[in-house]
Amino acid sequence: MNRHAAPEQLPLDDALQAFREAAAGAASAAYAIPAPELAFEAPRRPEFGDFATNVAFALAKTARRSPQAIASEIVDRLTHDAPALAESFSSIEAVGGFINLRLAPPVWQAAIAKILREGDRFGKAPAQNKRVSLEFGSANPTGPLVVVQGRSMSIGDTLANAMRLRGYDVFTEWIINDAGGQLDALGRSIYARYRQTFDSEYPFPDDGYPGEYLLPIAQTIAHRDGERWSQAPEDEWLPYFAKFGRDRLVAEQRATARRFGVEYDLWQSEAELHETGKVREGIERLRQLGLTYEQDGALFFRATQFGDDKDRVLLRRDGRPTYLAMDVAYHFLKLKQNDRVVDILGPDHHGYIGRIKGLAAALGYPGHLDVAIAQQITLLRGGEQVSMSKRAGEIATLDEIVDEVGVDAARFFFIMLAMESPLSFDLKLAVEKNNENPVYYVQYGHARIASVLRRALPEDVEAATGADLAPLVHASELALARRLSEFPAVVAGVVDHLAPHRLARYARDVASDFHQFYTECRILAEERALRLARLALALAAKSVLARTLALAGVSAPDSM
């Protein structure tokens, strides 16, 4: 990803650039030294303005003046030398060494006009001509998907949507962990259930999966094959039952993902990587690079050369590949085919981040791999934690969560916190129909806008898209306009920092600002010019809020 790709030019960008150039000229004229690059940030308190710059602090040492004196000097010079800035800024003040800026209403009015003019193109970046592999979600094919996978899917799909809006070609991937001993345990578990349909005393394996979700699979085999497998040797029935169970459970997992609104471009089987020789190819690549050695009959990767705390085994003494060998193969494949690879891993993989980033460097692609962790979820209902253990047979499946709270609430809740933060999912809150429920609050904001538009005259709604926006001068109108103009930068931040929680926070901020505007300003005002301008602002808010929710895979209802 091009981490330096700038959001589209907005009216406020033009205004800030004009100030940047004028302030740099004023600083150079006052102190005969080159002015540093001016950066802007939002003040901690809104009464200080829309933006602030600390350029005076950067000049203080060289100019041998206090930051406040420098800031005041720059502001005084701008007042006399750059009067045109008054068209874009209603105030420019030196406060505590900072220069605080408040943009004039026409800047925000122009931002709303741009949103209405561009519609669904607002915030869309030009094609970057870069392909990104985004891997998010993996599971053993031994049971239904649970909430941990739900969080990874919500995070990954939101990132994929945001990346596509920012002009990247995104290829999404899921890993089927079907190359380990768990598949044999699955086969024995299904076989035991199968035998129990004819003999209730048949023992269940100690290392089996006792969940009831395996019963329908065993019953399908019993109905189709009868007692055919009851007397067969294990080397015949085990691969059959393991493969049958794997295929059935993966199909169910794919159906759950589809129900959850997530479609993957590739469901990658680990077993397939072994069967097609990709694992051997990856190991051979490390051999060719001189990054392997043999010791005690095993083959090691020189991982310490790339920041790991010890060298890692690729092939065991008996020749069996380790899990790392699969990672070598899969990442070598992805790195060759993509400009950047992003892995969203599950909990308890922190120690793996440096390892696979070092692996990318070893394969000849340093800096091409980003790795993030989607942390654990605590699922609560009525103050009691819900178990999520497949082994215990007491699992809270993702389908059950969706049945209880719906796709919208689940997807929104799953991305509300930064992915590296543990998440407590309050199932009771997720179904509340009040403002304490964040997804309800945001969706209600969209529904409230739609309600206003339904009550307006159709000819007014049509005329609003091209209305004169000069009447928009109320503080809550300008606050909402500013918030809406942030959409491209918010989406860019989601992509650059792998931070989908910013989108959830932004959606709540937009809804909050609209509710404030709705409370303080009568949208369907008697004066037509004011009414049309406020309807235009409402239309812009509806568009941006709907698109924000769509990126998160959440619907934007017109009524609630």
Residue 68: inside a domain, yes or no?
yes
Contact indicator for 152, 136 with CB cutoff of 8 Å: yes
What is the predicted pLDDT for the residue at 269? 96
Q: Is it the case that residue 371 has pLDDT exceeding 60?
A: yes
Q: Is 559 helix (H, G, I), strand (E, B) or coil?
A: coil
Residue 385 domain-assigned (yes or no): no
Q: Give the β-pairing of 266-269 and 292-295.
A: unpaired
Q: What is the pLDDT of residues 327-346, one digit of tens each?
A: 999 999 999 999 999 999 98
Q: What is the pLDDT of residue 382?
A: 66
Exposed, middle or buried: residue 248 (CB in 10 Å: 0-12, 13-18, 19+)?
A: middle
**Residue 533 and residue 442 share a domain:** yes
Average pLDDT (9-19) is 81
User: pLDDT tens-digit profile of 43-95?
Assistant: 888 888 999 999 999 899 888 899 999 999 999 999 888 988 988 999 999 99
State whether 546 and 448 are in the same domain.
Answer: yes
Query: Around Cβ 551, how many Cβ atoms within 10 Å?
Result: 26
The one-letter amino acid code at 451 reads: S
Residue whose entry in the numeric block shows the structure tokens 């969940």: 211
- 217-238 as b/e, with b when 16 or more CB fall inside 10 Å? bbeebbeeeeeebeeeeeeebb
| Domain region containing 209 | 182-242
Could you report the per-residue pLDDT of 299-317, keeping only the tens digit for each?
Answer: 999 999 999 999 999 999 9
The pLDDT > 70 percentage for the chain reads 96
Residue 64: inside a domain, yes or no? Answer: yes
What was the pLDDT predicted at 43? 85
Residue 395: the pLDDT is: 62
Residue 135 has pLDDT above 80, yes or no: yes
Q: What is the pLDDT of residue 470?
A: 97
Cα 309 from chain centre? 31
Domain co-membership, 99 together with 191: no
- 3 state SS of 139: strand
d(CA 483, CA 205): 59
Condensed to tens digits (0 to 9), the pLDDT of residues 491-509 reads 999 999 999 999 999 999 9
**Contact criterion met (CB below 8 Å) for 361 and 333:** no
Q: What is the mean pLDDT of residues 133-157?
A: 94
**What mean pLDDT, rounded, does the chain reach?**
93
Quote the pLDDT of residue 391: 44
Q: Which of 103, 125, 150 corresponds to the end of one domain? A: 103
CATH code of 56's domain: 3.30.1360.70
Of 387-391, 415-419, 532-536, where does mean pLDDT reach its minimum?
387-391
Please indicate, yes or no, if residue 332 is contained in any of the structural domains. Answer: no
Decide if 219 is inside a domain.
yes
Structure-token pair, residue 475: 């503080």
What is the pLDDT confidence band of residue 393, given thresholds at 50, 70 and 90?
A: very low
DSSP 8-state class, residue 315: E
Q: Which long-range contacts (CB under 8 A, 24 or more apart) does 9-12 make?
A: 10/111, 10/114, 10/485, 10/488, 11/107, 11/108, 11/110, 11/111, 11/114, 11/485, 12/103, 12/107, 12/108, 12/111, 12/482, 12/485
State yes or no: pLDDT of 518 exceeds 80: yes
The reported pTM is 0.91
Euclidean distance between CA atoms 311 and 303, whole angstroms: 5
Write the pLDDT tens digit of every residue in 396-445: 789 999 999 999 999 999 999 999 999 999 999 999 999 999 999 999 99
Q: What is the pLDDT of residue 2?
A: 42
Domain boundary among 103, 129, 159: 103
**How far is Cα 20 from Cα 88, in angstroms, rounded to an integer?**
13
Q: What angle do CA 120, 125, 128 make, to 5 degrees?
A: 140
* Listed residues 56, 86, 103: the one ending a domain: 103
481 domain-assigned: yes
Give per-residue pLDDT as tens, 177-204: 998 889 999 999 999 999 999 999 999 9
Check residue 33 and give its pLDDT: 79
Confidence at residue 379, expressed as pLDDT on a 0 to 100 scale? 85
Contact 559, 445 (CB under 8 A): no
Q: Which two tokens stand for residue 145?
A: 């998907």
| Residue 356 · residue 386 · CB < 8 Å | no
Taking the C-alpha atoms of residue 52 and residue 73, their distance in angstroms, rounded to an integer, is 16
Does 67 reside within a domain?
yes
Phi, psi of 293 (to 5 degrees): -155, 160
Q: For the chain, how many structural domains are there in total?
A: 3
Which of 8-17, 222-231, 313-322 has the weakest average pLDDT? 8-17
| Sheet with strand 384-385: strands edge to edge | 384-385, 377-381, 423-426
Query: Residue 351's pLDDT band (boundaries 50, 70, 90)?
Result: confident
Does residue 533 lie within any of the structural domains? yes
